[in-house]
Structure 1
Amino acid sequence: MKRFAELIDSLIFTPSRNGKIRLMGDYFTHTPDPERGIALAALTGGLTFTDAKPAALRNLVMTRVDPVLYGWSYDFVGDTAETISLIWPPRPGANREPTLTEVVETLAETKRADVPKLVERWLDALDAQGRYALIKLITGSLRIGVSARLAKTALAEWGGQPVDDIEEVWHGLTPPYLPLFAWLEGREERPAVGEGAGFRPLMLASPLEDVDIAALEASIYRAEWKWDGIRVQLVARGGECRIYSRTGDDIGPAFPDILDAMEFDAVLDGELLVLRDGVVAPFNDLQQRLNRKAVTGKMLLDYPAYVRLYDILFEGPEDLRQLGFEERRQRLEAWYARTTPRRMDLSPMLPFETWDELAELRNGARENAIEGLMLKRFDSAYVAGRPKGPWFKWKRGALTLDTVLMYAQRGHGKRSSFYSDYTFGAWKGDDLVPVGKAYSGFTDEELGMLDRWVRNHTTKRYGPVREVEQGLVLEVAFDSVHRSTRHKSGVAMRFPRVSRIRWDKPPHEADRLETLERLIVE
């Protein structure tokens, strides 16, 4: 556990991508099996502990320290794991420090009622660094600036294999990934995934700005809409069916209606949407289905899922990824005509001759729940990752609104000492009503300025939340706005982020709720 805790601590305080990759590679070199495989699972989100809840840990720590002292400490630190790790008073004569493997295996075998006592013994045995890593691990909040893709990239560089090859075999393996490490160390052949329903890394598009499109040759590109849903990969092979997100997460349990329709043998690329009478619903409707382990019958009726197909990667056992886009599109159209799968259709191709024609189409995209356009070279093979040139996403411009900062809360990880999560509002009559929350879009220097402003203008405290004076205007950029019964204002923004801090603008000149309501996508 000590070596894992040191890795977590080092990753948190290493800002550079290459530095994080070197740290993980060194850990894989000097840590034996199965410990390194368990650590890899933790870094890639492959471990789940259902019986170690943050609330139970807070109750546990308050059996050792004064609750008021804990409250003050948490208010200062802003992070549960860090607060407990620093304030915990270990009892002398504690048991030996557990290994990472022991923590994972023992938690899996322990009844929920016995978990607090188990964790208590471990907290007594560990130092502050170890306690922090333990709590982050078992509560599922290991946010340390390392994505699953970055961890796999570090593994690939360490083992001298392409990261996409690792992605190809990943879903056929389970922690502690012994065959994977044996392959990367040259002790065994590459793990065989056979005809199973594993994930194939997606091909991604590069952003395209208006000023750059003139440099492209229109005749070699094909255009289609960029629908406002989530990108998915449908895999139906070897008698198994899976629905993967763009990051390779299996989201099938939330969409049994799509799984039931996958009565074919193919791997398809598409956009997951909610569709009613052939009309794409706002993204907010799709959000009602996302991140759920199960859905009710009423939810299936109220938010009917649909997949708009973009591409075909496998048809039966045949790998089509090396074919050009236009040829794959012809194969997709022929396959669709023969198969006619339920809850699926083809994303239409958009004929055009000049970029001006496409620009006119894009200008009307917002009213039709469309994010913009996709441009794909007619001869582009399906290549994993984001190669520069074959595919572009030409998105519509962002909407902006001048809002007033209302509340602030500390962030997590490196931002746990800063007020970096901002709730902002628009005027409704003489009152402000919250219309969104943002935690990105500003520089580190601007974060410091915002943090100081919040501290100097706090008027009330609600636990970790600070209410501030109605004195600072934030220009917020967002992609679209939808009606929402979950928010007091009745609206919800899509992808809000701070575009500009309007130090110059008085709050009474900020926008009104009616302005935002006129932008609602029905």
Structure 2
Amino acid sequence: MTMDALAALCDRIASAAARTRKLNLLADYLRTLDDGDLARAVRFLSGSPLPDGRKLSVGAATLRAAAASATGWDLELIRFCSRVAGDSAEIIALLMAGRSAGLPLSLSGAEQHLLALAAERSKARKQKLIEQWLLAYAPLTLKYLLKTLTGMLRIGLQAKLVEEAIARASAQPLELVRAASNRSGDLAEVALAARHQTLDRIQARLFHPLDFMLAKPLESMPDGVLDSGPWWVEDKYDGIRCQLHAAHGKVRLFTRGQEDVTASYPDLTVPLSAIHPPLILDGELLVWRDGAPQSFNALQQRLARKRLTPALLAECPVAFIAYDLLYAGQTLLLNEPLERRRALLESLPLQPPIHIAPQRRLASPQELDALFEAARARRNEGLLLKRAGSLYEAGRRGGAWIKVKRALATLDVVITAAEQGRGRRATMLSDYTFAVRDGSRFLNIGKAYSGLTDEEIRQLTRLLKSLATERFGRVVLVRPEVVLEVAFDGIQKSPRHKSGFAMRFPRILRWRKDKPPEEIDTLDRVREIYVASL
């Protein structure tokens, strides 16, 4: 099968509005492939095009430089067009119309091109290879070859939909495909196993992140929610959700977004290299100081730091709070009840910087308010409730886990910019950047898109368009006249905003039509909230 056919499929999937249409198109296509091309196509579609899982470190600047060389177009013009469109591959494919030879390209040939590119260390040589592709193949094929290269297909095809298409194409139960994908982390392997009905042979693999079980968020507890108990209760910690994999001296840390952050926390991973029996822990990564967990603001000083100085490591030492055990003794424990997983966790000879989250039985719902305030007094976010006997439902946000979080505070802010939405909100301005007041200035502090009704968003779209001062692609700058009340879970320092701060998990409570921008909250109020949280 050809890369040209895969590109045509991707274009049809991108233009299909209905999820079922996307699913049917992909499943029908997968049935037509031999085993080799099935593995290649699934890798290309899932954002991991190389057989060995390596990443292709090629940036948009290299693509644009190759396009400028192949077409003779001005590099600055290509950069401008790419910025407006938000997609370099799309623009480059359009530029190559009438310029490329239009040669056919097989999936195996595309794979060989990507492997050759991955083997090159020279940026100039990588650019030359891409330029050769541009001159050889059809524009539509180039569009999706480059998208595959960057790992950003942007055709509305999430990994879960690919799993569903694999299940449909192979006539295998979806739950078996998803379970195998979670164990393996390799969708190409899963697709072949599903076709040959050998999904049960796929074993759990360490050092690739499993899907996290998610908790249903509630700010209040409606009547009857806890009737399915009994329940266990833990503090909801104010750090980064993290999965710790360890075996035979090797340690890896993965965030909920499946990012490997091991290198950023040597003060945690070096001591843990003494762990030898294989295990996977689910928990929270946070700063631990003076015998207690600290707030997210303390951890923020460690985030995205390229250089970790001895002073920083001493000032902000990290720890791992373990609250679940997913793998131990060569056994995946996801289908074991909560109490069994907890007993095994507590039996492990874990030592600092690993701490096991305290857990207690919830006696009655009337305890929740007092327990919540006690958790907040310990600088934690709130509570995490876990239903007794619950399994670890990887990748699901069911009712077996409930996180109780309440807004730290609210601020009245003014909209300074709005971004065009996507999907059913594609014709509306639905993502709002907002600011607080500092004297006569308005300084941005965050962005939110949830909390308003569709009708309110339609009204705001009309109003904001009338207030527009400039437009940059999908973003419209507006005169600061529309006031919102926004709730949030915390304030953190941020170099991204001119205020120097950013809200954590902001959500819009209401449109304050009754309040002028001169009466919104000030930067001094933001500083007060931040200092109080330290």
Considering the TM-score relative to the shorter chain, is it more than 0.5? yes
1:95–1:122 contact (8 Å) kept in structure 2:
no
1:61-87 deviation line (CA, Å, top 9, x unaligned): 455335676577557544433333334
| Compared CA separation, residues 388 and 60, structure 1 to 2 (3 A) | closer
Deviation of 1:271 after TM superposition, in Å, equals: 1.4
Q: Give the Cα separation in 1 of the matches to 2:216 and 2:82.
A: 42
Q: CA deviation at 1:517?
A: 2.6
Distance 1:328 1:188, change over 3 A: closer
Within the candidate set 143, 148, 165, 2:179 is matched to 165
Give a deviation string over 1:348-401, Cα, whole Å, max 9, x none: 124542212212332464564423211122222334343744322222246432
Shift of 1:226: 1.4
- 1:164 deviation in Å? 4.2
The runs of 5 or more residues in structure 2 that have no matched partner are none
Moved more, 81-90 or 107-116: 81-90
Paired with 2:519 and 2:406, the residues of 1 have a C-alpha distance of: 27
User: Which shows bigger deviation, 364-373 or 352-361?
Assistant: 364-373
1:304 is the counterpart of 2:317 = yes
Counterpart code for 1:509:
E
Among residues 224, 227, 235, which one is paired with 2:234 in the alignment? 224
Give the deviation of 1:189 after TM superposition: 6.7
User: Does 2:295 correspond to 1:282?
Assistant: yes
User: Structure 1 residue 494: deviation in Å?
Assistant: 0.8
Cα contact 1:197–1:238 (8 A) shared by 2: no
Question: Of 135, 139, 147, which residue of structure 2 is paired with 1:136?
Answer: 147
Relative to structure 1, the CA distance from residue 485 to residue 105 in structure 2 (aligned partners, 3 Å threshold; closer, same or farther) is closer
CA contact (8 A) 1:77 1:417 kept: no
Counterpart position of 2:280 = 267
User: Distance in 2 between the 1:358 and 1:327 partners?
Assistant: 25
Q: Deviations for 1:297-335, whole angstroms, at most 9, x for unmatched residues?
A: 565444422111112234434555554323433332232
Contact 2:180–2:200 (CA under 8 A) maintained in structure 1:
no
Alignment check: 8 A CA contact 2:486 2:506 kept: yes
Q: Secondary structure at the match of 2:384?
A: strand
> Contact 2:284–2:320 at 8 Å: present in 1 too?
yes
2:241·2:256 contact (CA, 8 Å) conserved in 1?
A: yes
Q: How big is each residue's C-alpha offset from its partner over 1:1-40, in whole Å with a ceiling of 9 and x where there is no partner? A: 2233234334434454444433332332223343443343
1:517 aligned to 2:523? no
Closer/same/farther in 2, CA of residues 465 and 198 from structure 1, 3 Å limit: closer
Contact preservation (8 Å) 1:77, 1:416: no
Q: Which amino acid aligns with 1:2?
A: D
Shift, 1:414, TM fit: 9.0
Question: Which residue is equivalent to 1:332?
Answer: 345
The question of 1:495 aligning with 2:509 is answered: no
C-alpha distance in 1 between matches for 2:454 and 2:94: 26
Return the match for 1:83 from 83, 91, 95.
Answer: 91
State the SS of the aligned residue for 1:390: strand
Higher mean alpha-carbon deviation, 374-383 vs 282-291, is at 282-291
- Count of aligned pairs between the two proteins: 515
Residue 427 (structure 1) aligned to one of 429, 433, 437: 437
The secondary structure found in structure 2 opposite 1:210 is coil
Partner of 1:4 in structure 2? 6
Following superposition of structure 1 onto structure 2, how do residues 12-23 of structure 1 map, counting pairs within 5 Å? 12-23=14-25
Superposed CA RMSD in Å reads: 3.8
Closer, same or farther: CA 486–365 of 1 in aligned 2, 3 Å: farther
| Matched residue, 1:392 | 402
Tell me, yes or no, if the aligned pair for 1:253 and 1:292 is still in contact at 8 Å.
no
Residue 416 (structure 1) shift: 8.3
**Residue aligning to 1:56:** 62
CA–CA distance in 1 between the matches of 2:157 and 2:438? Answer: 41
In structure 2, what is the Cα distance between the partners aligned to 1:188 and 1:340?
36
Which of 18, 21, 26 is equivalent to 1:24? 26
Separation in structure 1 between the aligned mates of residue 124 and residue 399 of structure 2, nearest angstrom: 56
Percent identity for Structure 1 against Structure 2: 35
- Post-superposition offset of 1:436: 1.5
User: 1:428, CA displacement in angstroms?
Assistant: 0.9
Output aligned runs, 1:94-113, within 5 Å: 95-97=103-105, 99=107, 100-110=110-120, 111-113=122-124
In the alignment, the residues of structure 1 paired with residue 394 and residue 92 of structure 2 have an alpha-carbon distance, to the nearest angstrom, of 42
TM-score by length of 2: 0.81
Aligned partner of 1:342 in structure 2 is 352
In structure 2, the CA distance between the partners of 1:219 and 1:490, relative to structure 1 (3 Å rule), is same
Distance 2:502 2:167 in 1: 40
> In the TM superposition, what is the alpha-carbon distance from 1:442 to its structure 2 partner?
5.2
Corresponding position: 1:361 with 2:378: no
For 1:291 and 1:426, the matched residues in 2 are separated by 26
- Compared with structure 1, are the counterparts of its residues 508 and 125 closer, same or farther at alpha carbon in structure 2 (3 Å cutoff)? farther
Alpha carbons of 1:321 and 1:165: their partners in 2 closer, same or farther (altered >3 Å)?
closer
Change in 2 beyond 3 A, CA 1:301/1:13: farther
